[in-house]
């Protein structure tokens, strides 16, 4: 009986994630889409080194949806693992207000943080997106990097 209650607690948050933000009370009102976010593992950026002359930890993400959308906000956050809790290092939101046709890939490659030291630090990232689809504001589930990676980059 206790296990069944735990299962119900897990299902409820998942259903809330796929409902539109506008507060609709039925799944029939939610736009039927195949929208997703792909997020890369943390890495030391070669392009930041070439452009600015220093090392930086960077995480890229891409958003794609099978229906047209507007007002896209794709947010990527870099975290470093800590002793008692994880710490947010940097967050960046890419916004595009005009119409984005179906199946177009939108990239957020501007989320990075300069390395202060070369101390090994474990990083991971998360990404979320919101957009207007068929007049309803919808949110993707949070995507998290597949791995947490130790990099020679203290921030």
Alpha carbons within 13 angstroms on the beta-carbon side of residue 67 total 13
Q: Which domains does the chain have, with CATH numbers?
A: 31-154 (2.60.40)
Confidence bin at 82 (pLDDT 50/70/90): confident
Q: pTM to 2 decimals?
A: 0.77
- pLDDT band of 64, cuts 50, 70, 90: very high
14 vs 56, higher pLDDT: 56
Distance CA 13, CA 22 (A): 16
Per-residue pLDDT tens over the stretch 88-126: 999 999 999 999 999 999 999 999 999 999 999 999 999
Q: How far apart (Å, rounded) are the C-alpha atoms in residues 19 and 22?
A: 8
9 phi-psi bin (left φ>0, alpha ψ -120 to 50, beta other): alpha
**pLDDT at position 29:** 54
Q: Where are the alpha helices (DSSP H) in the chain?
A: 2-18, 46-52
């Amino acid at each position: 009986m206790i296990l069944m209650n735990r299962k119900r607690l897990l299902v409820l948050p998942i259903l809330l994630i796929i409902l539109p933000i506008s507060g609709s009370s039925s799944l029939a009102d939610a736009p039927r889409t195949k929208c997703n976010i792909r997020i890369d593992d943390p890495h030391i950026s070669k392009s930041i080194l070439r452009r600015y002359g220093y090392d930086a930890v960077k995480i890229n993400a891409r958003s794609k949806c099978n229906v047209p959308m507007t007002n896209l906000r794709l947010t990527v956050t870099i975290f470093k693992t800590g002793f008692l809790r994880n710490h947010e290092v940097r967050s960046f939101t890419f916004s595009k207000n005009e119409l984005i046709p179906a199946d177009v890939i939108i990239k957020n490659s501007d989320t990075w943080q300069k390395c202060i030291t070369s101390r090994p630090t474990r990083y991971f990232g998360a990404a979320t997106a919101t957009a207007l689809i068929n007049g309803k504001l919808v949110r993707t589930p949070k995507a998290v990097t597949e791995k947490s990676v130790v990099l020679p980059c203290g921030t």
